[in-house]
Structure 1
Amino acid sequence: MRKILTTLLIAMTMAVMMPANAQVEGMTREQFREYKEAYLKQEMRLADNVAERFFPIYEEYQDKKQKIYSETQALMDKADVATEAEYKEIIRRLRALERAGSNLEDEYLQKFKTVLTYEQIFKLGKAETKFQKHILKELTRSKNSRARK
């Protein structure tokens, strides 16, 4: 069971790959969050009262996850022109960020369990992956339609 939950939480982590300040077809960050919440709520079939309790926790989790992702990206960018000693430090810091991400997942799994059933937590991982694919498809479609003009 723990392996399944860990796999789901890793899938949820991948959702961070969409930058927090991303604008999809003119959406503000807040509009994007609302769009994502509506999508997840529908996919997970959350009742309004559950969604009201869940999404503040989820957004807090997403913000913390985004911070770890940003720090990781900054280190990866810095690694393009580093000395051997700097690479050693970068690797040490990347490993620390991996542990921080894993600890964050464990922490928020506990918080999610106070609001969601295990089935809903499972569906969250699937819904996030489906949402990512949906957004990438929309962005590709939009890009292709602009290229044809």
Structure 2
Amino acid sequence: MKYLFRSLLLLWLLAAIPAVAQPGAGGRQGRMSQLENAKIAYITEKISLTQDQAQRFWPVYNEFTAKRRDLNRRMRETRTNDPDALSEAQVKESLTQALALRQQEVNLEKEYFDKFQKVLNIRQVGKLYQAERQFTKEVIRRVADHRGGPPTTPGTSD
């Protein structure tokens, strides 16, 4: 019964994903909140979190994703669309900053790999990374399908 409820909740939340692609559907914050709830349900299901693990895992994971999101924002800020508009010194500085941020991202991944192992078993940690990739792929596929984007190639894997 518990499995059935979790599966139905997961299906309901994943059905809400196309709303993310709809302009004006509940505002950006509402759509992002729906997406985050769907991700929580998806990851919880895929890595088989117990209630005790979930209470300890989600604060750590949320901290990790906030730090990773900040690094990604900073990486986007260092990118330039037109390197020809910059001096060579500016291009070098931009690329150096991007590399430093990528290194910070690797360091963050290592740090939280260790933290996740304090809450999850190693198999669950592996499933976590896989679930993140699968969830992202599914969201991209559904948004592209909803917007009439290019069809995805069936049968592709990670």
Quickly name the TM-score band, shorter chain normalised. Answer: 0.7 to 0.9
* Matching of residue 130 in structure 1 with residue 126 in structure 2: no
Alignment of 1:133-144 (within 5 A): 133-144=137-148
Structure 2 CA distance for partners of 1:53 and 1:89, relative to 1, 3 Å:
same
Aligned partner (choices 37, 48, 51) of residue 48 of structure 1: 51
* Matching of residue 108 in structure 1 with residue 112 in structure 2: yes
Structure 2 CA distance for partners of 1:70 and 1:125, relative to 1, 3 Å:
same
Indicate the residue corresponding to 2:34 in structure 1: 31
TM-score, normalised via structure 2 length = 0.71
Alignment of 1:50-69 (within 5 A): 50-69=53-72
Q: Distance in 1 between matches of 2:114 and 2:102?
A: 19
Q: Distance in 1 between matches of 2:89 and 2:57?
A: 44
Q: Distance in 1 between matches of 2:82 and 2:52?
A: 46
Indicate the residue corresponding to 2:155 in structure 1: none
Q: Distance in 2 between matches of 1:30 and 1:60?
A: 16
Alignment of 1:16-27 (within 5 A): 24-25=20-21, 26=25, 27=30
1:132 CA displacement:
1.0
Q: Distance in 1 between matches of 2:33 and 2:147?
A: 22
CA RMSD, 1 decimal: 1.9
What does the per-residue CA deviation read over 1:5-64, in whole Å, with 9 as the maximum and x for residues that have no partner?
xxxxxxxxxxxxxxxxxx814443233211101011111111122112111111111111
Q: How many residues align?
A: 123
Which structure has more relative contact order (CA 8 Å, sep 6+)? It is 1
Q: Distance in 1 between matches of 2:70 and 2:62?
A: 12
